[in-house]
Structure 1
């Protein structure tokens, strides 16, 4: 006889939910959680429910239509006022595995660094007008002394468009009718960041927002390709990451330009010079952490060699050889190889199949550990050329997949990713601002976690998006799902270290150090110290 009772139905319902949840790693491994971890998870879930009522269910005059996991740029000011964010900001986050080095320092801090450089100059290509200030973009460059001009202001009625002005002088002389020096700062910062109006209103297609996104890099390039700034820039990136609980970094360094500009304004700084300096700054930061009595706070950083996916196959062969040479000289620093740039607009991986297969053959022949770590599937297409990059990335043996936004549509590829231990570098705030999804609530990350795909949470280009560190991305992931809890965030942090490119011994050490930091953090959640100022 069939049991049609409510009790029987509810038992079957609970069993089905439990069966599906058991696919997730964080639920499957609940038996490994300590009592303190379970208690801390309950505390966070309780705060999450409380703030859903006290923050995300009430009207805010400056932020209409709020809800947990809503669009990041609109919610940012509210996020920073929450107890959940206060807690997450103190959480040990493991590794940052997907970032682009030319977008890793807060825009205001980058401008301050540039203002300290006598060789840094600015110009505009058309006459500046108060009415056109927002649409007139600055151009920056470190100049040779012979290129300096006597021009004192870019807002002067006598300014000739295209004339360089020393940046500090340009700031100090920015006319009062334009808003003075504060307006200069705001103008520069707006040119290298994306604001809510651009993200959610005016640039309302993927193509439009990517155009703005690419423009921020073109403008900031005047700062990030000036070598005297580079060392300070690197240290600020590492130190700010450490303060956000990031202990290891693999960052994509774009080697598209053959040389950077030196202190004399000459293009002399080679790729090797960049790697040597990177190594020096890593050691400097390690020494600083030792002096502070926090040696475990920074394990180190490595470079994913990247170039742009609009070059020719012949050019890619040159970059491949350059990458391999740098790997042979600096085996501890070069982590992998990637092609970057808009998948929707530039060449697909299949276009580069010959040089990429050559790369794999040479690496194997030389016996060096230099994996492909490829961007793929950063698109909402299904069966489109950008979506099909996922097939090639997996067949080429990529160690991780950058973004993998469209992966959730491919059941067989998900099976292969799990079988081959390929992690997905997920960048939820980046994907939302670049219009692949309206909010983290509709992001495919939930599907990947629910199907037990290994995920590393990443920030992508935080200087452009304003999601410095990883706290904001972890916050959005927690708030965007009713299932996710503190143990989910711990799982994501741990997975980032499990799928980094450190060798087995270094990786084991990194995970052990993280586990110690995690245990201390859990204790601070349980006893309330995490909320102490």
Structure 2
């Protein structure tokens, strides 16, 4: 009787998990992978009892999958994190270019540019240090300005001062030059006190989140910085085991500021720079015998959901023109921004439907890759974006946080192969969930919906690369193991926009890297 019960219990568990994608290719789960999976599960269990149960003066109740910004220092102490650092992650399919490079590195690039200036609307003081946001802009030489220090009572509000001088003259009571660095980088990032204290609602944290982009744009969208910024993004991604990227670039501003300080660099020049940089990176890797470490990068053309439908028509035509000139670079189209307060997809339905017809006329294929359901709502406009994204034929769904509330849509995504770009740490910091054990990702995995793990805005959140996101997912579920992570990485390539030949090459390269990684994990296990 007892044996029969256990048999039925096992059968029920297997039936319940049968849709999980790591089990679909069970024939591919070699003995080495199974052994490596056991090693990872053993380390996870040991560290749950040791590292996560230690006493930390600044972290009263640590646990695996806790709030990322608070637990990051503990995560980096773990053996599990060090192992996952070496894991081949596959593709990064959801990342906004303007938040992909460490804020300190961006500031270093900026300080090398004499044309860059900064201004504030009120003298920077101890009382407004955290809220008085800097505005940056490159000026033509004839407009170079030299106002009083930003921290000087005599500073004329709104006056430009050279970035270098602003840093050198920053009041020592506010930390001097180092205080300036802290002020600037703090304006482009979210810290624990903000995420979990002063801005601990979706509405409040989005206000802080949006302000980070407002500040950084003036530094990034400057021709002498842009190419170096892209290169740093690609190199740090490759270092973390990412072999292919589809980056969302916001084309809202129709021109970038050139080296002469004039706003005169059109969108096509942005793509030329992007293309040149990735070729340089590929050439660099080839010389090192690492050409298979990086398949390449493409662009998801994006603009923001506050424009009018009539304005959107211009961007859609621009996207088509860029696709015709750079067919290898444009991967898709998206509308971005806070779904809870900006316009829903249905607001743009006429130009979006026309866009599909225009593609046929122009002989191009630009799939929609929509943000949808990045919300706690149920039946709200943001939640309803899921229906429109699917009806419009979206290739993937960005975030899809509220998708689990819709059983028919879950089935549709599984049946049609619509992958969900899940951004675990982003969802937590932007207050959709309180921690990873509360995240709905397991619902997607257990329903067999394809998922690609993504970092979203790593420069703002501090989750550079993908290792942190993979870590948080792994420690938050007893079902999830190394094979699950492998399936997520493999699916990130499978559901990319790469053509058949490039996708085959990318999957083969990843497979070879995965096999080496499994051997490494087994050796780690043998040494325990």
User: TM > 0.5 between the two?
Assistant: yes
Q: CA deviation at 1:26?
A: 1.2
Between the two proteins, the alignment pairs up a number of residues equal to 528
Which one of the candidate residues 225, 231, 256 is aligned to 2:221?
A: 225
Contiguous gaps of at least 5 residues in structure 1? none
Residue 133 of structure 1 aligns to a residue in which SS? Answer: coil
- Rounded Cα–Cα distance in structure 2 between residues aligned with 1:155 and 1:202: 25
Q: CA deviation at 1:161?
A: 1.8
Q: Deviations over 1:250-296 (max 9, x none)?
A: 00010000101011110000000001111101101101111222111
Paired position in structure 2 for 1:207: 203
> In the alignment, does 2:49 pair up with 1:46?
no
Judge conservation of contact 2:134–2:184 (CA < 8 Å) in 1.
Answer: yes
Paired position in structure 2 for 1:412: 408
> In the alignment, does 2:424 pair up with 1:451?
no
> In the alignment, does 2:28 pair up with 1:10?
no
Which one of the candidate residues 292, 303, 319 is aligned to 2:299?
A: 303
- Rounded Cα–Cα distance in structure 2 between residues aligned with 1:275 and 1:136: 34
Residue 101 of structure 2 aligns to a residue in which SS? Answer: coil
- Rounded Cα–Cα distance in structure 1 between residues aligned with 2:96 and 2:341: 19
Which one of the candidate residues 159, 162, 171 is aligned to 1:163?
A: 159
Q: Deviations over 1:477-533 (max 9, x none)?
A: 00111111111111000000000001111100100000011111111111129999x
Q: Which moved more, 1:389-398 or 1:49-58?
A: 49-58
Judge conservation of contact 2:95–2:456 (CA < 8 Å) in 1.
Answer: yes
- Rounded Cα–Cα distance in structure 2 between residues aligned with 1:447 and 1:410: 11
- Rounded Cα–Cα distance in structure 2 between residues aligned with 1:447 and 1:332: 35
- Rounded Cα–Cα distance in structure 1 between residues aligned with 2:16 and 2:24: 10
Paired position in structure 1 for 2:399: 403
> In the alignment, does 2:198 pair up with 1:188?
no
CA-based RMSD of the aligned residues comes to 1.4
- Rounded Cα–Cα distance in structure 2 between residues aligned with 1:338 and 1:531: 47
Q: CA deviation at 1:63?
A: 1.3
Judge conservation of contact 2:148–2:156 (CA < 8 Å) in 1.
Answer: no
> In the alignment, does 2:96 pair up with 1:100?
yes
Judge conservation of contact 1:96–1:248 (CA < 8 Å) in 2.
Answer: yes
Q: CA deviation at 1:55?
A: 1.2
Q: CA deviation at 1:19?
A: 1.2
Within-5 A mapping of 1:138-153: 138-151=134-147, 153=149
Within-5 A mapping of 1:72-111: 72-111=68-107
Q: Deviations over 1:184-204 (max 9, x none)?
A: 111111101000111011112
Which one of the candidate residues 311, 317, 336 is aligned to 1:340?
A: 336
- Rounded Cα–Cα distance in structure 2 between residues aligned with 1:263 and 1:175: 30
Q: CA deviation at 1:140?
A: 0.9
Residue 129 of structure 2 aligns to a residue in which SS? Answer: helix
Paired position in structure 1 for 2:490: 494
- Rounded Cα–Cα distance in structure 1 between residues aligned with 2:525 and 2:132: 48
Paired position in structure 2 for 1:512: 508
Taking a change above 3 Å as real, the CA distance of residues 389 and 169 of structure 1, as seen in their structure-2 partners, is same
Q: Which moved more, 1:211-220 or 1:519-528?
A: 519-528
- Rounded Cα–Cα distance in structure 1 between residues aligned with 2:106 and 2:275: 21
Paired position in structure 1 for 2:150: 154
- Rounded Cα–Cα distance in structure 1 between residues aligned with 2:264 and 2:459: 27
Residue 251 of structure 1 aligns to a residue in which SS? Answer: strand
- Rounded Cα–Cα distance in structure 2 between residues aligned with 1:172 and 1:248: 40
Q: CA deviation at 1:32?
A: 2.2
- Rounded Cα–Cα distance in structure 2 between residues aligned with 1:207 and 1:408: 22
